[in-house]
Amino acid sequence: MQLFTAVSVAFALLQVSRAQSQSPVWGQCGGIGWSGATTCVSGTVCTVLNSYYSQCIPGTAAPTTTAAPTTTPVPTSSPSAPSSTPATSTAVPGSCATPSTVSGFNNSKLPNPFLFNDGSAVKTKEDWECRRAQILSLIEGYEAGALPGKPSSVSAKITKSGTSGTLAITVSNGGSSITFSPTITYPSGNPPAGGWPLVIAYDGLSLPVPSGIATMIYANSDMAQQNDASTSRGVGLFYNLYGKSATASAMTAWAWGVSRIIDALEQTPAANINPQKIAVTGCSRDGKGALMAGALEPRVALTIPQESGSGGDACWRLSKYEQDSGSVVQTATEIVTENVWFSTNFANYVNNLNTLPFDHHLLAALVAPRPMISFENTDYVWLSPLSSFGCMTAAHTVWQALGVPDLHGFEQVGGHAHCAWPAALTPQLNAFFDRFLLGQSANTSFFQTNNQFNGVTWNQANWIDWTTPALT
C-alpha cells in the first residue's frame, strides 16, 4: 500500500512537472532564440508562425509550417546593396548580451544592423535574433522607455450588435486595474474559420480596408495622453496601472495596449477575430505609434505606418541632414519639446545624435521578417521625405538579408493632403492585405519614391556603409 501511494505521488508530481514545462494556450512555444517550453498544453498545437515565433494554438491537428514565400527580385526602384564591407567578425558570444546603452559609441552614419554591440558580425538568422534583442534593449534604453511584460491578469468580454462590437478589456497588475473598450466593425456575413482578420487603427482609420477584414478603433490617446510635452507626461490608463513615474513613453504605452488587445482576442473566441491575422496602422503621430507597436509586439502580422515622418520611419541623423541642408523638417531636438512620444531620457541625446547606437532603420528592422509597408507624402517637407526614404532603404537591407525583401514595402508620392489617402496607392496596399491578412496570392515587391526631397540630395554611400549579408 505504501509502495502504491509513493508511485501515485511520483506520477502526480511528474504530471505537474510536465504541465509546468508546457506553454499555455496562445503562449510562445518556439522560434529562433526562444529558450522556454517547446510543447503545448493539451488541446493546443505548437504552430510555426515564422522562424522567430511559434505559438500554442487551439486544435488537435498536426502543426504545419508555412514556408517563407519565394523571394522575388527587388524592383529597380528599390535600394541597391552598398559597396563597402563590414569588419571581419570574431565568434558570436555564447550568451546574448543586451545592455540598454553602449559606452563610447560615435558614428555619424547609420549604424550597421549586422554588427553586434561588440563589433562582431551577424552571420546567421539565429545571430539576427540576438542582434534584434540588442536593438530592442537599446531603443528602450535611449528613447522608448521600459516596456512592461505581460500583466498578472487580462480579461475580456465582447458585446455585439449587428456588425458592431465592443471588446471590454480589464487589465490588473500589482493591485491596480484599468478597463478600456475598443470598438470593432465586422464585415457582413459569416466569419471564416479562425475568425476575421483585423486592422487595429490608432485613433481612427485613414486608409481603405478591403472587404473581408474587420477594423478596430483603438483610442491610444486614452492609454497615454499626447496633448503636449508639459502636461501629458505620465497621464493615461497605462500610467494609472504602472504609475506616473514609469519610464515608458506614450508610444511604448500605446504598444503595450496593442499587446493587451491581442491577449484579449486570443482568449475571447466569441469575438470572431483571428489573432494571427492582425494589422496595426495609424497616420502622422499615430503612424509613429503604429510602427512602434509593430516593432515591439511580435504577434502583429502586418505593420502599416502612414506618413509617420520623423520619429516614425524617418531616421534622426537623416532628418538633421535635411535641416542642415535648408529644409524645415521635424528633428529630434524639436520633437522632445513638442510631445511625450519619447522617454525623458531621449532628450539627453538629441543634441549629439552620433552617440546613438541605433536609428530608426533599426526600429523598423525589429519588425523583420514580418511584413511591413509604409506610406509617405513628399508634399509635406516637415515629414522629412529624404529621411524616410533613406531610413527605409537602410531598413530594407534586413529583409534582404533574411531572404524576404518582398515582405517590406515603401511608397512615397505627393499630390494629396496629409493623411488623405491617394487612390493610386490602393493596389499596393491591397496586395499586402491580400497576401498577409487574407491569405491570397499577391506580388508585394513595392519600394519606390518620386525623389522629391525639396532639393536635398540623397547619396546612399554617405549613410550606408555595409554590404548586406545573406543570413543562413
The question of whether 418 is a catalytic residue gets the answer yes
CB-CB contact of 251 with 144 (8 Å): yes
- Mapped onto helix, strand or coil, the DSSP state of residue 81 is coil
Backbone angles phi, psi at 216, to 5 degrees: -130, 130
DSSP letters, 164-222, are: EEEEEEEEEETTEEEEE--EEEPPSSPPPTT-EEEEEEESS--S---TT-EEEEE-HHH
How crowded is the C-beta side of 389, counted as CA atoms within 13 Å?
26
Give helix 250-266 / helix 285-296 axis angle, nearest 10°.
Answer: 60
Buried b (16+ CB within 10 A) or exposed e, 179-191: ebebebbbbeeeb
For 102, 115, 353, the CA distances from 106, given in Å and listed in that order, are: 10, 14, 9
Query: Of residues 100, 172, 181, 418, which has the active-site annotation?
Result: 418
Q: b/e per residue, 112-137, with b = 16+ CB within 10 A?
A: bbbbbbeebbbbebbbbbbbbebbbb
469, 467, 466: which is closest to 111 by C-alpha?
A: 466
Neighbours of 7 (CB within 10 A): 10
Cell of 123: 552571420
Active site residue 361: no
| DSSP characters over 215-262 | EEEE-HHHHS--S-TTT-TT-SHHHHHH-TT----HHHHHHHHHHHHH
Residue 257 — φ and ψ, nearest 5°? -65, -40
- Report the largest interatomic distance among the alpha carbons of the chain, rounded to a whole angstrom: 89
Among candidate residues 259, 284, 310, 445, the one labeled active-site is 284
Q: Which three cell numbers stand for residue 303?
A: 505593420
Query: Taking CA 267 as the corner, what is the angle to CA 264 and CA 272, rounded to the nearest 5 degrees?
Result: 85
Position 121: which residue type?
A
- Work out the number of other CB atoms within 10 angstroms of the CB of residue 196: 21
- Side by side, the strands of the sheet bearing 44-50 are 28-30, 53-58, 44-50
Catalytic residues: 284, 418
